[in-house]
Amino acid sequence: MTSTIAELRTRLAEVRAAAPASSRVAVISTIGALHDGHIDLVHLAKEVADIVVVSLFVNPLRFGTKAELEAYPRTPDEDRLLLESLGVDVIFSPAASELLPNGAQTTQITAGDLGLRYEGRARPYYFDGLLTVEAKLFHLIEPDIAIYGKRDRQRAFLVERMIRDLHFDIEVALAPTVRSDDGLPVSTRIGMLDDRDLAGAVKLVAALEAAASNADRGADSCIAAAQSSLMGEQRIHLEYLSIVDPKTFEPVDDGHRGPALALIAASVAGHRFIDNAEIYIG
């Protein structure tokens, strides 16, 4: 496992030298505390690339307060062993001072207006911090492919836009959302809920299913059906529920016909959950 930029560059050079000249490099950026969703990202990376690089970096720019940053679970030894067992070629786990030597005063990428919507409305600092570190990793690793999960569709959209705008020669590949038996996207937060709160969180999945089942009646009906399915659920604090165009991430009107994304975010017992569903309105 590498922890400095110098070590990363040395290890990358060694791996590239040992691989065929045509080898492709995939990168997966994480903040650690790995779960089954991350395992699927590695499997996809190994399918589409010859060399797999995974970063483990609890990015302080993605957190609003010091308390929130310190509360995030850290399992570096378990993460390293898991990635090694999966055959990951390079693991990069830097300290904040290594990747962000000037701290919050570092030069930052801005996500613009879209970075302040949906996830960015609740965390206006989040996407600027995320894109800043992604750009640094792209510069250091020079990957051919960046791997993301479909659960984080807004993140993937903004990264793809940054790649185009900054002329990175990188493809983006999306892995399907890994779900638990009850349908919730696998995340570190699931294990923090008791049974009653977990049952409440499952209603978010039901809301997306309700939206999808009404897609033939238009976007307004999708939203109404999803909202109706959440009525009376006291454990859920709904933050947003939107139907957007996947090409622009702009909300669609009721006249929209074609592919769309239903987005939802809510807090359950103080823990935030996000999810989405691909739907076809027509």
| Residue-wise DSSP of the chain | -B-SHHHHHHHHHHHHHHS-TT--EEEEEE-S---HHHHHHHHHHHHH-SEEEEEE---GGG-SSHHHHHHS---HHHHHHHHHHTT-SEEE---HHHH-TTGGGS-----TGGGGSTHHHH-TTHHHHHHHHHHHHHHHH--SEEEEEGGGHHHHHHHHHHHHHTT---EEEEEPPPB-TTSPBP-TTGGGS-HHHHHHHHHHHHHHHHHHHTGGG-HHHHHHHHHHHHTT-TTEEEEEEEEE-TTT-PBP-TT--EEEEEEEEEEETTEEEEEEEEEEE-
- State pLDDT tens for residues 13-58: 999 999 999 999 999 999 999 999 999 999 999 999 999 999 999 9
* In this structure, CATH architecture of domain 5-175: 3-Layer(aba) Sandwich (3.40)
Question: Is residue 15 within 8 Å of 24, Cβ to Cβ?
Answer: no
Go through the chain and tell me how many residues it has. Answer: 282
- Interstrand relation of 258-268 and 271-281 (parallel, antiparallel or unpaired): antiparallel
CATH superfamily of 190-281: Pantoate-beta-alanine ligase, C-terminal domain (3.30.1300.10)
Q: How many CB atoms lie within 10 A of CB 265?
A: 21
pLDDT of residue 193: 76
User: Among 35, 38, 43, 271, which one carries the catalytic annotation?
Assistant: 38
Q: How many CB atoms lie within 10 A of CB 245?
A: 14
Residues of the chain with pLDDT under 70: 191
pLDDT of residue 272: 85
pLDDT of residue 191: 67
- Domain spans of the chain? 5-175, 190-281
139 is a catalytic site residue: no
Phi/psi of residue 236, nearest 5 degrees: -105, 130
pLDDT of residue 64: 87
Please tell me the pTM assigned to this model. Answer: 0.93
